[in-house]
Amino acid sequence: MSEKVLMKGNEALAEAAIMAGCRHYLGYPITPQTEIAAYMAKRMPKVGGTFLQAESEIAAINMVIGVSAAGKRAMTSSSSPGISLKGEGLSYLAGCDLPAFVVNVQRGGPGLGGIQPSQSDYFQATKGTSHGDYHMLVLAPDSVQEMVSMTFKGFDLADKYRMTVMLLADGTMGQMMEPVSLDMGEVKEYDKPWAVTGTKCEREHNVVNSLFLKPEQLEVKNFERFEKYNYIEENEVMYEEYLMDDADICIVAFGIAARVSKTAIDMARAKGIKVGMIRPITLWPFPKKALRAAADKVKSFISVEMSMGQMIEDVRLATECTKPVLLCNRVGGMIMTPDEVLAKIEEAQKTGGNN
């Protein structure tokens, strides 16, 4: 099946989750991701799955813990304020080493904020979702096709590493339609000997738990988890390079900001400005090595993001502050225009990034 269909990001993502073997969707509606729940409500009963609208976001994430502990692929989705509510459950998932797939179709904040697209949950997703030492694998698609491929891959990574994979999209990615191929290949099945599936009096009880009262034991748990994280940082980084071969200026952008930046880069190239882009697809693990290598070649970086400047901190860390990093941003549900990015590129060209 290679014929492309025109689908909304939210709906394409939902179909991809079903194709990835997810049969349990637990959610609670919130704009701009409600189409995911609506699609699941229609499709899940037809494939023998469960669609459940919980009484709250908190209930939904705790149901995800239950389904995952039983060894099944589970997902929930929400938008920014709803993800904050799920924070506690996300920490418990990490503490229990359970796989889960969680979608955040971001909107402007803080607080209830607005319903237009935003990327201001970058810190939340990559660093501070909730308490304790843990990471989620964070995937940032920039097209409807990637909404699909990253969902499919996300379920695989979650099972492979027994951890939460968050797909960090935004209102634009969720609402836009683009041609998409749903040809995803085979689902890889993982053994889950740890799952709570009933002993049938044939084995010891499995216990899924995040409570370890002995500090020696809890420390070891944390050390082990971070060995896994180190492995992921070495092996699972994904990014796209765009016109970087001869670039003097390197834009760093993800999601919709990367799409806008691509248009701006093409405009700048037409004016003879050598600018390219490194687009992180995994926000955690962040493509540190690619940026560090780029820092030896380019004169400056521009972080293009729809926040007050969150990812820019990771760009500075990754490049060890060897080159200036400018910020091009809009917030509150506003999206930068290609012209605004172009103006920042021209500023970087003129000043070498030094204001």
Partner 1 sequence: MTTNMLIAGFGGQGILFSGKFLAYEGLLEEKSVSWLPSYGPEMRGGTANCSVIISDTPVGSPIVSTPDILIAMNMPSLDKYENETVAGGKVFVDSALIDRKLQRTDVEAYYIPATKLANDEGLTGLANMIMLGYVIAKTGIIPFENVDRALLKVVPASKQHLIESNKKALELGYNYAE
Site residues (vs partner 1, CB under 8 A): 4, 6, 31-32, 115-116, 171-172, 175-179, 256, 259-260, 262-263, 266, 335, 337-338
Please state the closest distance from residue 230 (CB atom) to partner 1, in A.
36
Please state the closest distance from residue 261 (CB atom) to partner 1, in A.
8
Tell me whether residue 27 or residue 171 sits nearer to partner 1 (CB atom).
171
36 vs 19: CA distance, rounded Å: 14
Tell me whether residue 265 or residue 283 sits nearer to partner 1 (CB atom).
265
76 vs 136: CA distance, rounded Å: 14
Q: How distant is the alpha carbon of residue 23 from its chain centre? A: 21
Please state the closest distance from residue 36 (CB atom) to partner 1, in A.
14
List 166's β-bridge partners, or say none: 102, 138
Please state the closest distance from residue 329 (CB atom) to partner 1, in A.
16
Tell me whether residue 170 or residue 314 sits nearer to partner 1 (CB atom).
170
Tell me whether residue 253 or residue 315 sits nearer to partner 1 (CB atom).
253
Tell me whether residue 157 or residue 304 sits nearer to partner 1 (CB atom).
304
Residue with tokens 């049938």: 200
Please state the closest distance from residue 6 (CB atom) to partner 1, in A.
5
Please state the closest distance from residue 143 (CB atom) to partner 1, in A.
9
Question: Please, which residues have CB within 8 angstroms of residue 305's CB and are 6 or more apart in sequence?
Answer: 119, 122, 253, 254, 257, 311, 312, 327, 328, 329
Sheet containing 282-284: give its strands across: 50-53, 24-27, 74-78, 100-106, 164-170, 137-139, 282-284
Tell me whether residue 99 or residue 141 sits nearer to partner 1 (CB atom).
141
Tell me whether residue 46 or residue 350 sits nearer to partner 1 (CB atom).
46
Alpha-carbon distances of 64 from 24, 95, 101, 139, rounded to whole Å: 8, 14, 9, 19
Tell me whether residue 130 or residue 175 sits nearer to partner 1 (CB atom).
175
Strands (E), the chain: 5-8, 24-27, 50-53, 74-78, 100-106, 137-139, 164-170, 177-180, 239-242, 249-252, 275-280, 282-284, 300-305, 325-329
Please state the closest distance from residue 26 (CB atom) to partner 1, in A.
24
Token output for 228: 């896994």
List 75's β-bridge partners, or say none: 25, 101
Angle between helices 57-69 and 80-95 (to 10 degrees): 30
Q: Phi and psi of 324, rounded to 5°?
A: -60, 145
129 vs 132: CA distance, rounded Å: 9
Please state the closest distance from residue 39 (CB atom) to partner 1, in A.
14
